[in-house]
Amino acid sequence: MEIPTPAERDALFEEFARALFKHDMEALYRVVSPEFVWRYHDGVSPEVVLVGREAILKHLEEKKTFFATSRFHEIVYHPVVSFMTFGVSEIVRSTGERREQHGIEHYTFEGGKIATKDVYRKPIIR
């Protein structure tokens, strides 16, 4: 397993995030392995396992339709272990409900590219 250097990893994640936010599957698959798997758990709904361009694009479109806003904050990429911690503030489009969650994303690599993304989110209780 080829693990990217910190600089290579930072560049991968920058391109990865840009592709996700633009819903650009062509750009996404330039930085993920062909067998890329994304496990998504938001702390509210059952876990979703996304495999393939169509499943990922459908997931992104569903989230875009469901949330009026979704802004990540306090993002930290950890250099020794490949995981990211974050907070996220969202507003459900249909109800106006505001949600605050914190979470972690764990990444693995294959062939110098991102192979898996495991997402775990939990509501913030105040």
pLDDT digits over 73-98, tens only? 888 876 556 888 999 999 999 999 99
CA distance 54 to 73: 27
Q: What is the pLDDT of residue 81?
A: 67
DSSP string, 7-48: HHHHHHHHHHHHHHHHT-HHHHHHHEEEEEEEEEE-SSSPPE
CA distance 13 to 32: 10
Burial class (CB in 10 A: 0-12, 13-18, 19+), 90: buried
Is the pTM higher than 0.75? no
Q: How far out from the chain centre does Cα 114 lie? A: 12
Contact in structure between 122 and 101 (CB atoms under 8 Å): yes
Q: What is the pLDDT of residue 103?
A: 94
Low-confidence ranges of the chain (pLDDT < 70): 1, 78-81, 126
Q: What is the pLDDT of residue 6?
A: 82
pLDDT digits over 62-72, tens only? 999 999 999 88
Contact in structure between 109 and 2 (CB atoms under 8 Å): yes
User: In Å, how far are 33, 84, 90, 98, 119 from 30, measured between CA atoms?
Assistant: 8, 21, 29, 34, 21
